[in-house]
Amino acid sequence: MEKTFQLNGRNSIVIAVLVLILFAVRLATIGEVNDDKLTAAIRAELANDMGNNLGQALQENKHDIATLTELANPANIDVYSTAVSKPLLSTGSVTRAVVKVHYALPEQNSVQEYWLFEHSAIGGWRYRQRSSALSYYLNFL
């Protein structure tokens, strides 16, 4: 049994309008990080990752004190870009946002990752876990 789907003029217009609405909603919920507190939370997570790298360098005992001091300086974290994807209609007291971060830690190659953050009125922005590009692009509802 074969089923066919024919797209006539009226159906194609409805589908085109729905696609445009979905595209507009997606554009409305994704953008630059303009929240200073979220930027601070991103930098805090990067400093945490930098601390892990510093611990590993100390265990390997392959750097002198001057190099270790440079590895521990948060000013040496390069953040190239950040973008956030938030739900359009957020209900409740907690907002979940997926953040795309392109960065480089000292003595490391640049990396682009997706992180899940949650915001509450009491706790502010908190890092929760690594996320994925799929979550980033589908985080609009």
Cross-strand bridge partners of residue 31: 84
Which pLDDT score, from 0 to 100, does residue 77 have? Answer: 85
Per-residue pLDDT, 112: 92
Compute the distance between CA of residue 114 and CA of residue 136 in angstroms, rounded to an integer. 7
CA distances from 23 to 9, 12, 49, 111, 140 (A): 21, 16, 35, 27, 11
Q: Which two tokens stand for residue 51?
A: 């601390």
pLDDT value of residue 29: 58
- Residues of the chain with confidence (pLDDT) below 50: none
**Per-residue tokens: 101:** 């971060």
Q: What pLDDT is stored for residue 59 in this prediction?
A: 75
